[in-house]
Amino acid sequence: MDMKRILVYGELEKERLHPVSLELLSKAKEIFPESDVQFGMVLLGSGIDGAVAEAQKSGVDLVYLLDDQRLSVFHPEYFAAALIQAVKAFNPDLLLMGATYGGEELAPALGIRLKTGVAAHCTDLRLTKEGKLAQLVPAFGGKVIGEIFTPNTRPQIASIKPGMFLASPQEDKNASLSILDASLLDSVSQRIRVKGVNRKELSSLPVEKAEVVVCGGYGIGSPENWNSLEQLAGKLGGAVACTRPAIDAGWVGDESSMIGTSGKSIRPKVYIGVGISGATHHICGMKDAGLIVSINSDPNAECFNVSDFKVTGDGNLIVRSLLEALG
């Protein structure tokens, strides 16, 4: 089936365009460079003039917008209704969505409402020799990657986690703006009501933005050692990341720095893993790092296989030596 129109769900982050929106657009443009493919982006939010300006310059041909107070906080029903409206207007062959907490809930909902297939958490999109779009999805924690095709229904929908693809600069097409009719929200049921928003303090350097990531696992062993790991990341001008058991142990307050299947995907210049066994759930989030150094006391640790350099020994001793060397 021909690919004529591709719609990207323009995820927002604090009233601005979320990087994942541009990552998805870049990927789509890379696969379909032909000039006859039309690209659209849909923005749903409240008070988002900044994001609209960014989207219009992002390289798409058309931007759909619904700027409404009722879209100021994620709401499964309002957002699904508005997104459907944009899909009906643009009639895309492919809908790309960020697998964020919101996008991950919207994509499958649209799959049922539009009676079409959704490929979840794609790690890649590519064309086969026959020109079919293969959506590559991870299974079994990323140990296995499977091709998924959506042969008969349109639009085909794919969700992709932030950080999977690289955003590349696109030619500004000075996109025209199409405003969706806000009255469509009036008929949405009131079965869900937003009661409040709890904002956590975000770290100044999120893991996905750091050039150096020092990642700690269960082998770190104690809150004191975790402290040293944080100091080390600070001295290197980087960020601390973690595995799931480090959160379970209580050394890390929340999941925003967890790397892997259910956490973030990162591609820093340098990743240093300390006390991490190398479960496939974790590996699939850090495999794209430039340099990977792993420190583990177990000479057979799985993580060593995916590392450029390995150190067999007590990770906390090495961390201490690094701290001393960095002064």
Residues that bind ligand FAD (CB under 6 A): 141, 217-219, 221, 243-246, 258-263, 275-277, 279, 281-282, 295-298, 301, 314-316
Per-residue binding string, other proteins, 163-192, x by CB under 8 A, is --------------------------x-xx
Name which of 39 and 304 has its Cβ closer to ligand FAD. 304
Q: Choose the one of other proteins, ligand FAD, none that binds residue 230, judging by a C-beta under 5 to 8 angstroms depending on kind.
A: none
Q: Residue 224 binds what, of other proteins, ligand FAD, none (CB under 5 to 8 Å, by partner type)?
A: none
- The smaller minimum CB distance to other proteins, of residues 56 and 261, is found at 261
Rounded distance, CA 288 to CA 98, Å?
A: 19
For residue 197, give every residue at least 6 positions away whose Cβ sits within 8 Å of its Cβ, in sequence order, or none: 73
Residue 298 lies near other proteins (rule: CB under 8 A): no
Given 59, 138, 216, 273, the residue binding other proteins (CB under 8 A): 138
Q: Which of ligand FAD, other proteins, none does 57 bind, CB closer than 5 to 8 A by kind? A: none
47 part of the interface to other proteins, by CB under 8 A: no
CB of 167 to ligand FAD, least distance (A): 23
Q: Tokens 């990552």 appear where? A: 23
Rounded Cα distance, 121 and 261, in Å: 9
* Exposure b/e, 122-160, CB count within 10 A at least 16 = b: bbebeeeeeeebbbbbbeeebeeeeebebeeebbbbbbb
**Nearest of 265, 236, 220, 254 to residue 100 by alpha carbon:** 265
């009676």: which residue's tokens? 115
8 binds, among other proteins, ligand FAD, none (CB under 5 to 8 A by kind): none
The rounded distance, in Å, linking the Cα atoms of 150 and 119 is 8
250 binding other proteins? (CB under 8 A): no
Q: Quote the CA–CA distance of 19 and 141 in Å, as a whole number.
A: 24
- Does 69 contact other proteins by CB under 8 A? no
Task: Quote the CA–CA distance of 8 and 258 in Å, as a whole number.
Answer: 26
Task: Out of 34, 35, 36, 115, point to the residue binding other proteins (CB under 8 A).
Answer: 115
Applying CB under 8 A, among 111, 219, 263, 273 the residue interacting with other proteins is 111
Residue from 30, 113, 168, 177 binding other proteins (CB under 8 A): 113
CA distance 121 to 30: 19
Q: Which does 324 bind (CB under 5 to 8 A by kind): other proteins, ligand FAD, none?
A: other proteins
**CA-based nearest residue to 138, from 299, 284, 275, 237:** 284
Give the three-state DSSP class for 258. strand
